[in-house]
């Protein structure tokens, strides 16, 4: 295959670490308030939409891995060039780079908004943006193996979430889940669509694949990562549905943080504030992975040093950040990005697989004809 990447063993990492990469890439700012949007579409059957969205995620990632397995050691950018040629392939690569930058911006802006709302209402967003970008650039400069290490490290900051949700269970009412299957199929389908922004991240497998050592084992760890994320999101959603009434949930922007706010410990008064501060460690892998993915795409189009890429990437994000500074604008960004993400993550892999499969068949037929001649 053309455009194959030759990655040395010193740059690769073990397949089991994909579990932490997938988990870290899926758990980010979306977990703070996905319940309200999901409930507005699917009502008390929101948990069905959540489960279906992860079923779709498993199917989508299976198709992604089928496409990747057709190539010895190639990423999405190389596959584009191999199937569609230099010009249209680079055009698709450019679109994916823009997608990665948009994902980075959406995560950054949503986290800054949470900080401004819950912790530091009067702190300038520019200062917060610069501070977070400095941390991300420092982590990114270490390379992929460092980023994967951060994914592993951040996983242990996620593990405390399920146990601490036991506190709101004391005030839960299971009757809020009834009646089951009362929502129309259209509402459940809209709920699945609304989860796009929340559960994306696993598409990083398209870029990270060549850097995995045991390619015969990587699939199971990707699926395990998706299952763990499903468990976490489903736990939070079920507790939210039984804790809040329908009217309350439809008006609560950050339901997860509100759940944390009712917790009172002898040594911590405001658990949600500690949670928000710790959350920077949890979203750091998200930001680093999308920045690294964009960098890999730029390298495919034109060689550029890491320093130059970092400068231009940070500059673009910072400038756009200045214009996306209101709640309405951030909501619009989330809505549009969620729709685009659904196409990129859940629709496009099927189209790409079809083209890759057809090209593989054509090449096989050409090889067989040449052998006959």
Could you tell me the pLDDT band of residue 103, with boundaries at 50, 70 and 90?
very high
Q: What pLDDT sits at residue 163?
A: 87
pLDDT digit string, tens, across residues 7-21: 888 889 999 999 999
pLDDT digit string, tens, across residues 137-185: 999 999 999 999 999 999 999 998 888 888 898 889 999 999 999 999 9
pLDDT digit string, tens, across residues 318-365: 999 999 988 889 999 999 999 999 999 999 999 999 999 999 888 887
pTM above 0.75, yes or no: yes
Average pLDDT over residues 90-101: 97
Range among 161-175, 188-202, 253-267 rated most confident = 188-202
Look-up of token digits 């395990």 = 224
Q: What pLDDT sits at residue 75?
A: 94
- How far, CA to CA in Å, does 204 sit from each of 38, 76, 220, 365? 24, 10, 16, 32
CA distance 277 to 189: 34
Residues 304-330: b if buried by 16+ CB within 10 A, e if exposed? eeeeebbeebbeebeebbeebeeeeeb
Q: What pLDDT sits at residue 81?
A: 94
Work out the angle at residue 129's Cα, subtended by the Cα atoms of residues 125 and 131, and round it to the nearest 5 degrees: 115
Domain 14-349 has CATH 1.20.1740.10: yes
Average pLDDT of the chain to the nearest whole number = 93
């Amino acid at each position: 295959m053309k455009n194959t990447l030759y990655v040395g063993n010193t740059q690769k990492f073990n397949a089991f670490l994909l579990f932490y990469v997938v988990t870290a890439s899926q758990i980010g700012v979306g977990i703070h308030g996905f319940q309200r949007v999901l409930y507005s579409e699917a009502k008390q059957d929101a948990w069905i939409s959540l489960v279906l969205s992860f079923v779709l995620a498993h199917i989508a990632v299976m198709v992604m891995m089928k496409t990747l397995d057709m190539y010895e050691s190639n990423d999405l950018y190389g596959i584009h060039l191999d199937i569609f040629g230099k010009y249209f392939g680079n055009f698709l690569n450019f679109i994916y780079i823009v997608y990665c930058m948009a994902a980075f911006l959406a995560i950054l802006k949503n986290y800054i908004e949470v900080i401004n709302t819950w912790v530091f209402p009067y702190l300038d967003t520019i200062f917060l943006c610069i501070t977070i970008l400095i941390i991300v650039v420092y982590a990114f400069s270490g390379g992929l193996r460092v980023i994967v290490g951060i994914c592993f490290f951040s996983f242990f900051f996620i593990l405390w979430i399920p146990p601490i949700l036991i506190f709101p269970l004391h005030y839960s009412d299971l009757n809020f889940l009834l009646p089951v299957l009362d929502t129309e199929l259209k509402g459940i389908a809209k709920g699945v669509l609304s989860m796009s922004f929340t559960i994306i991240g696993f598409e990083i497998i398209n870029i990270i694949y060549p850097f995995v050592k045991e390619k015969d084992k990587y699939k199971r760890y990707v699926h395990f990562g998706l299952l763990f994320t499903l468990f976490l999101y489903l736990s939070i959603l079920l507790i939210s549905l039984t804790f809040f009434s329908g009217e309350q949930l439809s008006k609560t922007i950050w339901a997860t943080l509100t759940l944390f706010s009712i917790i009172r410990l002898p040594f911590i008064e405001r658990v949600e504030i500690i949670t928000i501060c710790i959350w920077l460690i949890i979203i750091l892998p998200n930001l680093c992975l999308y920045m690294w993915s964009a960098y890999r795409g730029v390298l495919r189009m034109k060689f550029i040093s890491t320093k130059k890429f970092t400068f231009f990437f940070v500059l673009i994000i910072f400038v756009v950040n200045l214009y996306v500074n209101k709640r309405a604008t951030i909501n619009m960004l989330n809505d549009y990005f969620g729709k685009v993400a659904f196409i990129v993550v859940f629709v496009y892999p099927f189209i790409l697989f079809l083209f890759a499969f057809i090209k593989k068949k054509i090449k096989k037929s050409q090889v067989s004809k040449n052998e006959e001649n």
